[in-house]
């Protein structure tokens, strides 16, 4: 193979008798590089998107959620929570009471999902409260810890950044929270409403939460929804987020009849499936560039074989075997592809790393739920892309190297 590489490498570098062959060779190298770089960058983006979404989702939400099958509240939840907290793989558990409300401030209003919480527990299972950018969650501590200074001061609430923008609300502003689960009065069912005071605004960068989540004290939520001391959900943080399924089942067993667990994967299955599909489609579409690049290699090599027919015949006349001739052009194709692939990998990786470092592509968070384009290049993608590139190049060399090996020296050298 040393001889074949020696010849192939020299052919690649040498000035051409026909300039067009050199030009097409150059175009082939650039084509391969462009295809490989595009694939690396695109895969880094889809991958970054998925990783980013997953991190945020898993960070913001609990790994496992446990609720009643019937959808009614969990009463006498404290001993249950205590028991479940000590199950294997469970790092923390937090009670929560969810309810749908309408929040309004003057003429502006928006729908929101209220979560009544105990902040100390909530912090251990999700990080939305940590992303508070204005104000703090301090006032969400139960009144047993911080007594309400005066019943005249509205109760505290923490809302998401986008919801705050919708309402035009800032920390300290008063909001009217209306629950459809109203009170039965002699006049019929009337919605229950109450004033709350914004004590914190969080910004998770996750539009789904920032636009519709609001936190209040568990007791305040129970009061607002006219519930006794019940909760609707127990959230769990695990030591291994990929054990969510298995731990969920175990928790169902321990909790007893009527309980049902779900997890972050199940809740976002459609999302992750869509992301996976997006990645596959991106790969296929961009792989076409690599295929076109391989066609360039085919053309470049075919022209080179035509240009070199006489030299091939001469080599055969002094004993170079047809199989060696074939390998010369195979090596030639692989050199073109190899150089292009390495070039493409370097460019693709450099662009991806620069992209993830400088975050230079800003996104509209309300559309993409993240504020910049994430890049996460992976070694496995690089290997797959390099393999694809080299294999297509290998296929492209089959025809030209075969035709080179089929040169009949006596014919090729007869009329010169």
Partner 1 sequence: MATSSPILRAEALEKTYPPLTSGAPGLTLFRDLSLEVAPGEMVAVVGQSGAGKSTLLHLMAALDRPTTGNVYVGETEVTALTPRQQSAFRNRQIGYVWQFHYLLPEFTALENAAMPLLARGVAKSEALAAAETWLARVGLAGRGHHRSGELSGGEQQRVSIARALVTQPRLLLADEPTGDLDTTTSTQVFELLQQLHREQGLASLIVTHNLDFAARCDRVLRLKGGQLHPA
CB of 23 to partner 1, least distance (A): 17
Helix, coil or strand: residue 110: strand
Q: For residue 21, state whether it binds partner 1 (rule: CB under 8 A).
A: no
Torsion of CA 161, 163, 167, 171, to 10 degrees: -40
Q: Rounded to an integer, what is the distance from CA 341 to the centroid of its chain?
A: 26
Helix (H, G, I), strand (E, B) or coil at 198: strand
Site string for partner 1, 247-276 (x = CB under 8 A): ------------------------------
Looking at residues 351 to 410 of the shown chain, list those that interact with partner 1 (rule: CB under 8 A). Answer: 409-410
Shorter beta-carbon distance to partner 1: residue 1 or 288: 1
| Count of other CB atoms within 10 angstroms of residue 37 | 25
* Strand 188-202 to 230-231 pairing: unpaired
Say how far apart CA 193 and CA 181 lie, in whole Å: 10
Q: How far is the CB of 306 from partner 1 (least distance, A)?
A: 16
CB of 415 to partner 1, least distance (A): 10
Say whether residue 174 binds partner 1 (CB under 8 A): no
At residue 232, the 3 state secondary structure works out as coil
310 binds partner 1 per the rule CB under 8 A: yes
| Member of 41, 43, 320, 385 binding partner 1 (CB under 8 A) | 320
For 91-130, letters b (16+ CB in 10 Å) and e give ebbbbbbebebebebeeeebebebbbbbbebbbbbbbbbe
Instruction: Return d(Cα 349, Cα 410) in angstroms, integer.
Output: 50
Distance in angstroms (rounded) separating the CA atoms of residues 372 and 308: 52
Locate 252 and state its tokens.
């169902």
Of the residues 43, 316, 373, 396, which one makes contact with partner 1 according to CB under 8 A:
316
Q: How far is the CB of 31 from partner 1 (least distance, A)?
A: 24
3-state SS, residue 330 = helix
Shortest distance, CB of residue 321 to partner 1, whole angstroms? 4
Element (H, E) at 135: strand 132-135
Least distance (Å) between residue 10 CB and partner 1:
5
Please count the residues of this chain forming the interface with partner 1, following the rule CB under 8 A: 25
To partner 1, the closest distance from the beta carbon of 316 in angstroms equals 7
Q: Which stretch binds partner 1 (CB under 8 A): 2-10, 50-58, 148-156, 268-276?
A: 2-10
Q: Is 174 helix (H, G, I), strand (E, B) or coil?
A: strand
Interacting residue with partner 1 among 18, 130, 253, 317 (CB under 8 A): 317
To partner 1, the closest distance from the beta carbon of 342 in angstroms equals 23
Of 198 and 313, the one with the shorter C-beta distance to partner 1 is 313
Question: If binding is defined by CB under 8 A, does position 306 make contact with partner 1?
Answer: no
Q: Please, are residues 331 and 4 in contact by the beta-carbon 8 Å criterion?
A: yes
Q: How far apart are CA 77 and CA 68, in angstroms?
A: 12
| Terminal Cα-to-Cα distance of the chain (whole angstroms) | 30
* Residues between 60 and 79 that touch partner 1 (CB under 8 A): none
**Among 165-173, 175-183, 309-317, 342-350, the segment contacting partner 1 (CB under 8 A):** 309-317
Decide: is 19 part of the binding site for partner 1 (CB under 8 A).
no
Residues in the chain: 416
- Out of 11, 77, 213, 236, the only residue in the binding site for partner 1 (CB under 8 A) is 11
Among 171, 230, 299, 314, binds partner 1 (CB under 8 A): 314
User: Which of the stretches 5-13, 79-87, 203-211, 340-348 binds partner 1 when contact is defined by CB under 8 A?
Assistant: 5-13
Residue 86 as a binder of partner 1 (CB under 8 A): the answer is no
Q: How wide is the angle at C-alpha 412 spanned by C-alphas 403 and 311, nearest 5°?
A: 75
Only one of the segments 169-177, 192-200, 319-327, 392-400 lies at the binding site for partner 1 (rule: CB under 8 A); that segment is: 319-327
Contacts with 22 (C-beta within 8 Å, 6 or more apart), sequence order: 15, 16
Which residue, 3 or 360, is less far from partner 1 as judged by CB?
3
Residue placing its CB nearer to partner 1 in the complex, 2 or 86:
2
Our finding on whether 5 is near partner 1 (CB under 8 A) is no
Q: Measured between alpha carbons, how far is residue 297 from residues 5, 32, 288, 330, 375 in Å?
A: 17, 9, 14, 11, 30
Residues in contact with partner 1 by CB under 8 A are 2-3, 6, 10-11, 14, 17, 310-311, 314-324, 409-410, 413-414, 416
């Amino acid at each position: 193979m040393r001889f074949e590489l020696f010849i192939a490498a020299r052919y690649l570098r040498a000035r051409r008798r026909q300039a067009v062959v050199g030009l097409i060779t150059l175009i082939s190298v650039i084509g391969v590089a462009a295809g490989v770089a595009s694939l690396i960058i695109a895969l880094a983006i889809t991958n970054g998107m998925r990783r980013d979404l997953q991190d945020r989702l898993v960070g913001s939400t609990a790994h496992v959620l446990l609720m009643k099958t019937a959808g009614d509240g969990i009463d006498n939840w404290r001993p249950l929570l205590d028991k479940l907290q000590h199950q294997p793989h469970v790092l923390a558990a937090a009670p929560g009471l969810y309810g749908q409300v309408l929040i309004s401030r003057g003429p502006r209003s928006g729908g929101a999902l209220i979560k009544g919480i105990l902040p100390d527990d909530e912090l251990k299972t999700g990080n939305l409260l940590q992303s508070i950018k204005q104000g703090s969650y301090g006032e969400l501590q139960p009144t047993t810890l911080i007594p309400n200074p005066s019943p005249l001061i509205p109760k505290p609430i923490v809302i998401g950044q986008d919801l705050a923008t919708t309402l035009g609300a800032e920390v300290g502003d008063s909001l009217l929270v209306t629950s459809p689960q109203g009170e039965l009065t002699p006049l019929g069912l009337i919605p229950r409403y109450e004033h709350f005071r914004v004590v914190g605004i969080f910004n998770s960068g996750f539009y789904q939460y920032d636009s519709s989540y609001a936190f209040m004290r568990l007791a305040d939520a129970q009061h607002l929804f006219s519930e006794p001391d019940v909760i609707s959900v127990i959230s769990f943080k695990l030591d291994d987020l990929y054990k969510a399924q298995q731990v969920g089942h175990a928790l169902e067993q321990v909790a007893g009849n009527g309980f049902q667990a779900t997890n972050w994967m199940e809740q976002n299955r459609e999302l992750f499936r869509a992301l996976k599909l997006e990645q596959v489609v991106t790969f296929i579409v961009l792989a076409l560039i690599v295929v076109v690049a391989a066609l360039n290699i085919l053309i470049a090599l075919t022209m080179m074989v035509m240009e070199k027919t006489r030299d091939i015949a001469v080599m055969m006349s002094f004993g170079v075997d047809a199989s060696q001739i074939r390998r010369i052009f195979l090596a030639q194709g692989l050199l073109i592809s190899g150089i292009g692939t390495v070039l493409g990998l370097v460019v693709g990786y450099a662009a991806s790393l620069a992209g993830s470092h400088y975050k230079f592509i800003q996104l509209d968070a309300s559309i993409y739920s993240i504020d910049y384009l994430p890049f996460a290049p992976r070694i496995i993608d690089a290997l797959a892309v390099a393999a694809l590139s080299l294999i297509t190049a290998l296929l492209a060399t089959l025809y030209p190297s075969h035709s080179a090996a089929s040169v009949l020296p006596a014919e090729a050298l007869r009329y010169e």
